[in-house]
Chain A
């Protein structure tokens, strides 16, 4: 049993740029989301229909989560946080389909998203406090804590990505073990729990922690 992502094919020749199954599923998720966004966004109406209503409800509830932590900037960060939340949520839900691996059960996906958040939070911190004020923020409260502060900043993307990765991989391994021990009927509630409930909660938490990191970084 090998739970990790499997290399399916190679782009450009034999050993160059391996393509894993999780990468293919994440491309499918991206294409699906782009097409869905195009279709929903192309016929907006003043009196919303069912699909438009649900989308507006989702987006306003994400904005309501951003607004208390970053006051006055909910609309500015909505595209970034909303994209992360919807992508991670749909990726986690894709494990419900039999035989489809979760893109988030691959450390490359989660570490990529966490690095995006890492770059954005330091960019925002620099823009809010100025470059000198931002660098000075590392030497607070006393100068001797400088290495500790730098290490704690570097630990943020690691803990951010490993939290999502560990949750999804742990759930997947438990489901695989149960499928081997009792393949009939018993795995269904477990699959609902790990893929639907834990998946959506972890997507929410990934977005919330990203907002919290950006808010902390803006304070200096």
Chain B
């Protein structure tokens, strides 16, 4: 069993928190794919039915906002890791 002194432990905690913040932001991939998919489908719908443009854009923004939640959760987790542990 190796004993670490307090400064070394602090450095390890900071490094792990920063690494964890970086890993948490991998979750940004998911909302990116989801929002892009929603935007692509909205473009298809507008091309098929240009008179329903306003409704389609409102629905698309609402769906994208809900899809964005997971990315925002990971952002909040990363912010908490950086500013409270690092």
Which residues of A are at the interface with B, using a C-beta cutoff of 8 A? 2-4, 65, 159, 162-163, 165-167, 169-170, 173, 201-202, 204-205, 208-209, 212
Contacts and interface: CB of A to CB of B under 8 A. Distances in A.
A102 to B, nearest CB: 15
Contacts of A208: 58, 61-62, 65
Given A204-B61, A208-B58, A209-B65, A162 B76 contact: yes
Contacts of B66: 209
Interface of B: 58, 61-62, 65-66, 68-69, 72-73, 75-76, 79, 83
B83 A3 contact: yes
Contacts of B79: 3, 169-170, 173
10 contacts: A159-B73, A163-B68, A165-B76, A170-B79, A173-B79, A204-B61, A205-B61, A205-B62, A208-B61, A209-B66
Nearest to A159: B69
Contacts of B76: 162, 165-166, 169
B61 A163 contact: no
Q: Is the interface of A mostly helix, strand, loop or mixed?
A: helix
A209 B61 CA distance: 10
A22 B65 CA distance: 24
A166 B62 contact: no
A159 B83 CA distance: 21
Given A4-B83, A165-B76, 7 more contacts: A2-B83, A162-B76, A166-B76, A205-B65, A208-B58, A208-B61, A208-B62
Contacts of A209: 62, 65-66
B62 A163 contact: no
Given A2-B83, A3-B83, A4-B83, A166 B75 contact: yes
A208 B62 CA distance: 7
Contacts of A212: 62
Nearest to B66: A209
B3 to A, nearest CB: 33
Contacts of B75: 166, 169-170
B77 to A, nearest CB: 10
Nearest to A167: B72
A173 B72 CA distance: 14
Nearest to B84: A4
B72 A65 contact: no
Contact of A162 (B58, B61, B73, B83): B73
Contacts of A2: 83
